[in-house]
Amino acid sequence: MYYTFWQRQGVKARLGPSFGWIRKPLHEFFYEEAKKYGNIFGLYGFIGQRGLIVNDPKMVREISIKELHKFPMRFAGHMGETSMVHSLFMMQANDDWKRIRTIVSPAFTSGKLKAMITPINRILDNFVRNLDKHGESGEMFDVKIYTSALTMDVIASCAYGIEVDSISRPNHPLIKHAQRILSHDVSIKQIICFVIPFLARLLNLEPFDRESTKYFDDLTFKIIEERLKAKNQKSKDLIGLMVEQTLNDQSESNEVDKNERKLKGISREEIAGQGIIFFLAGYDTTNVTLCHIIYYLIKHPEWQDKLYDELCAQDSPLDYESLRSLPVLNGVICETLRLKPPLTTVQRTAHEDTTLLNTGIKIPAKTAIIFHPYIIHRIPEYYPDPESFKPERFIGENSMESSIAFLPFGSGNRLCVGMRFAQNELRAAVAQLILHYRLIPDPNLKLEYFYGNDILSPKKCIQVLLSAHRALIN
Ligand code: HEM
């Protein structure tokens, strides 16, 4: 009976759990399922979990805005007891989530992002300098080593105000702990936490490395203390900006004592939780996007040339505002995010028994509603010739950027809070790379992906050949 729950409601589904995702990358598995079953179909897990795939952009929009109260949880698993449970990503969309989003969001406004371009440019200078030797040697190299270092250095600097330089200091404790939390190898502990949450609670298991989350907690508490003491210093990093929000609240009401700060603003543990999630949600996603942009530019040299011409035509400095207004640069980034959205699976989970919109489909409590940007981005009604790389889809009057069928950063009220931060970093990185080097075209370049991984992360390194430094050619 359990394995006919969806079929009894007229929803298509495989009979029983599927093992297909063990043998191929998750995005390929779901794309094949969607070709068989359509935009809406059911899923069964191994131990009592159910999911409903909804790849209809209009329905996704409604679920993410109007019906958010019905599906407030992201995951039904056991998220443990570390500060990570206070992070926006892991929280239920309740009043606490709203309070924290209201405090975190101002850290990502254009004014704050403008100020972050200075440390980002410093890290980019280093990135380009590191590539110099490969331009000179004319040998193939793995570009992912450098994009990983770049994105790690940017998030360490912009979130915590710590300059790391991961290429020359790979043993920096921040890098080691970040890597432990970010590890792609799913542990038995994590499987139990996500699949058998009651057992995980019973065994007091933590899905994320306790020692490493504690390292980030301590780092955050230290930064908070420093910022609290240095009252007149304006912060540029995300932790500092959140602390300032708290101070603003305090100055409005002088009676609020330190221990009651949570009532007005945000607690230390909550700030720590956001810091860790900036790594978790922001590092891999931005890194793989940069890798994919490089991949498409290698395969489509004509877009590299257009990009180079656009960048050379700028007579003002490439700052936050000017980078935002470059149509080819933005077209290339959006089209890459359309074809390779880093998070292939986005989900909302029902808190109580409910129904899906006006479909009459019954959704029991703890059932996940899942949508796949990777599949929605390939619906031909929105994107004719969907498999082709065509940045012009995002250039000019009919740009698809604000379409309901473009959702690399998710949808509705839980839209990625770091979206503008990521766009800013990607624009600056691609601009510097293309201004300094030409990526030697290779139409046969192919990527392979990890199996069973939610992040669309290329498995093998991306072998790249650079021209000599542009300044030496031109
Ligand atoms: C190319 C880079 C990125 C992509 C494609 C991306 C994508 C996403 C997606 C799809 C979601 C889920 C949205 C939803 O449920 O509707 C999300 C949530 C989130 N992202 Fe990003 N992200 C990126 C970079 C970043 C960065 C750089 C940060 C922080 C510095 C960040 C922080 C977050 C947070 C905190 C959430 C949870 C928001 C909430 O539930 O309220 N992301 N992101």
Instruction: Determine what percent of the chain falls in helix, strand and coil, rounding each to the nearest 5.
Output: 55, 5, 40
| Alpha helices by DSSP H, 236-385 | 238-252, 261-264, 268-299, 301-312, 320-324, 327-339, 373-376
Report CA(415)–ligand 1 centroid distance (Å): 7
Q: Span 457-467, mean pLDDT?
A: 77
Above 70 in pLDDT, residue 267? yes
Give the model's pLDDT for residue 261: 40
pLDDT at residue 471 in the model: 66
Mean pLDDT along residues 441-449: 89
pLDDT mean across residues, the chain: 88
pLDDT tens-place string over residues 300-319: 999 999 999 999 999 888 89
The per-residue pLDDT for range 120-143, each reduced to its tens digit, is: 999 999 999 999 888 878 888 889
Separation between Cα atoms, residue 133 and residue 187, nearest integer Å: 38
pLDDT at 248: 57
Can you give the residue ranges of every domain in the chain? 2-473
Q: How far is CA 350 from CA 75, 229, 298, 364, 443, in A?
A: 9, 43, 43, 7, 45
Q: Is the CB of residue 281 below 6 angstroms from any atom belonging to ligand 1? A: yes
CA distance 64 to 230: 40
Average pLDDT of the residues in 106-120: 91
Q: What pLDDT was estimated at residue 139? A: 85
CATH topology of domain 2-473: Cytochrome p450 (1.10.630)
Confidence of residue 474 (pLDDT cuts 50, 70, 90): low
* Closest protein CA for atom 32 of ligand 1: 418
Ligand 1 and 261: CB distance under 6 A: no
Query: Would the pLDDT of 469 be above 70?
Result: no
Q: Residue 99, exposed/middle/buried by CB under 10 A (0-12, 13-18, 19+)?
A: middle
Q: Is the pLDDT of residue 3 over 70?
A: yes
Q: What is the pLDDT of residue 205?
A: 82
For residue 149, report the distance from its CA to the centre of ligand 1, in Å.
20
- Residue 342 CA: nearest ligand 1 atom is 5
3-state secondary structure 197-249: HHHHHHCCCCCCCHHHHHHHHHHHHHHHHHHHHCCCCCCCCHHHHHHHHHHHH
Cβ(388)–Cβ(287) below 8 Å? no
Atom of ligand 1 nearest to the CA of 425: 27
**Does the pLDDT at position 222 exceed 60?**
yes
Q: Which two tokens stand for residue 144?
A: 């992912």
273 lines ligand 1 (CB under 6 A): no
Q: Whose CA is nearest to atom 24 of ligand 1?
A: 282
Q: How many CB atoms lie within 10 A of CB 249?
A: 16
- What pLDDT, in 10s, does the model give residues 340-382? 999 999 999 999 999 999 999 999 999 999 999 999 999 999 9
Per-residue tokens: 409: 């950063």
- φ, ψ at 50 (rounded to 5°): -130, 150
Q: Is 158 annotated as a binding residue?
A: no
Q: Which of 286, 338, 416 to mutate to test the pocket of ligand 1 (most atoms within 8 A of CB)?
A: 416
The residue written with tokens 């100055």 in the block is: 251
